[in-house]
Structures are given as structure tokens and as C-alpha cells.
Amino acid sequence: MIRTFGFKKDSDASFNFNLDSLSENDFQWYWVDFDNPSEPEIDWLRKYFNFHPLSIEDSIYSLNKPKLDYYEGYSFFILNALKSDTLGPTEISLFVDQNYIISFHTESLTEIDEAWERVTGERSNWEKGPSFAVYQILDKIVDQYFPAVYEIEDKLDRIDSNLDNKSSHKLLDDVFQIRGDLLKLRRIVTSMRDLLYRILNSERLPSFKEHKLYFSDIHDHLLKLTDMIESNREITSDLRDSYLSMNSNWMNKNMMVLTVITTIFIPLNFVAGIYGMNFENMPELNWKYGYFIVLGVMIGIGISMFLWFKRKGWFNT
């Protein structure tokens, strides 16, 4: 799908005009959005706009990080929107000059729809030009990063609350999954942060200067997101270490119980082993109280050793 918007100074705006009439209209500036275009519509990008083949190729074939390239007559942006289900990037390509913006994306995106509605739906924004449209797109993209980070923070809070729940055997797997999600977010956010830094400090984007405060605000949001992501990564490390430490303590307690039981039974086995030998000359075997005396001795040994371990503090934990 292709949608178009054009603004003529001191006149009304034009919507959904045909690209064939683009050269006939004296637009102050215009926006053409290629939304999940078909193959014939992709050919129109090559036909109606004299863009460098490399920038068109970068638009069609994904796998690019956010970047800013300068070509003769226009600037080329690649932005990364966020897929809420996988936290992977979705690319948006922008061809921008002082009198036009061409957006290209292979998936329909709410960020573009919201920016389009904000720019074209309010007459007060028509005169602000392509740089304002770029700001709106960037702002909507970055706004979608925050819910993903907040959701991860909520997951970490729930994990922290259940940290002492021994039945939560999936806890460590959840922590590692969250660390993976944070790594995906960090790659996107840091790349977009670097892109905003280039926009703010570029001398080849003069039309962006009038909206510098807006772009600076987005850059601040990305800095905040970077700090939040790093903070959450540290929390996952702390949770992992705490979980492993608690598991280690739990294992130590079990080993302590097994050690006490084994130690108590060593002398008992020794006594039982002596009287289990088949010697003929063992007088106490024929004594009518022999069994009870030996049994009492074994019980006494067991109780004595138990009390000794308790006195030494083995059962304090």
C-alpha cells in the first residue's frame, strides 16, 4: 500500500495523489509512505525517485542496524522499531530532503500510522516540514521501547518475590531468558541512541536544527532506556547469584543431615558387625540379657552422638 500527502504553501493539503502527478504539483513538501509494498509498488520507488541503488537495496533487504547515510540530494535513515512479541527489530527506511520524506517498511506499523495521523491530521503541523515528520516517527518508535522494559521489570519483581520458593525450578531459566531479552533491547536502543547523537551533531541536516530540542528529548529518552536496561541486567546477575547461593545452601543443609545420619550409624554398624560374626566362643550371645544390653548400648551411642552434634550447633540452621 502507498499513501501520499502533499502540502502547498498558503493552500490546502493533498491526500492520496497519484505518483504520476508528483512532478506536476508544486508542493512545499510531501510525504510518500510505502507500507508493506508489493513488488510493483517497490518498482515505483525505483521509477519515481532518483535514489541511489545502494539506499534502495538497503531498504528492500533488511539486516541493517540503525544508521544515517548522506547521498547527493538527500539523507538516508534506517530506524529500528520493536516487535513486541519477539523484541526483535523491524526496519524503517527514510529518504529525507528539505521538501520530501519517503518512508519504506515491509510491515504495517502502528508507529508509522500514529506519526502519519499526527503530521497529516493536524493542520498546525503541515508547515513544519519533513524534519518534523522524522521526529514524530522517531518519537513513536522510542515510546514503544518503554513498555517492553517495564514488562521486564515486572517479571524481575515477580521472580524476586518467589526467589525463596523451592518449587520454582524454572526460575533460573526465566532469569536467563530475561537476560537474553535485555541483550536484544540493548542492541536496538544503543544503536538508536548513537543515531540520535549523529542527528543532533550533524552539519548536513540544516532543516533539523529548528526541531533540535525535540530530537534532544528523544536522545534523553534513549539514554534513560540504556540506564534502565543496564540496571535490569545487573538485577538479573544478582538474582542469578542469589538463586545459586540459596541452592548451594540448601544442598549444604541436606549434606549436613546425611553426614549426621552416616556418622551416627558408623559405630552402630561397628557394634552390629562384631556381633554378626560367626565365632562359637562369644559368651554374651548365650546370656539372656545380651540382646537387650547391646541394643541399649547402640541406642545410647546414637542418642549421645545426636546430642553432641546438637551441642556443636549442627542443627542451629
User: Per the domain annotation, does 91 fall within a domain?
Assistant: yes
- pLDDT tens digit sequence for 39-88: 888 888 888 888 999 999 999 887 778 999 999 999 999 999 999 888 99
> Quick check: pTM over 0.85?
no
User: Per the domain annotation, does 231 fall within a domain?
Assistant: no
Q: Pick the last residue of a domain from 88, 104, 125.
A: 125
What is the structure's pLDDT at 255? 82
User: Per the domain annotation, does 265 fall within a domain?
Assistant: yes
User: Per the domain annotation, does 95 fall within a domain?
Assistant: yes
- pLDDT tens digit sequence for 186-213: 999 999 999 999 999 998 998 898 899 9
What is the structure's pLDDT at 164? 64
Contact yes or no for 51/95 (Cβ under 8 A):
yes
Has residue 117 got a pLDDT over 90? yes
Q: Pick the last residue of a domain from 110, 125, 140.
A: 125
- pLDDT tens digit sequence for 258-274: 888 888 888 888 877 77
User: Per the domain annotation, does 136 fall within a domain?
Assistant: no
- When divided into structural domains, the chain yields a total of 2
User: Per the domain annotation, does 257 fall within a domain?
Assistant: yes
Q: Pick the last residue of a domain from 125, 140, 175.
A: 125
User: Per the domain annotation, does 56 fall within a domain?
Assistant: yes
User: Per the domain annotation, does 222 fall within a domain?
Assistant: no
Kindly report the CATH number assigned to the domain that includes residue 258.
1.20.58.340
Could you list the residue range(s) of the whole structural domain that residue 287 is in?
Answer: 253-311
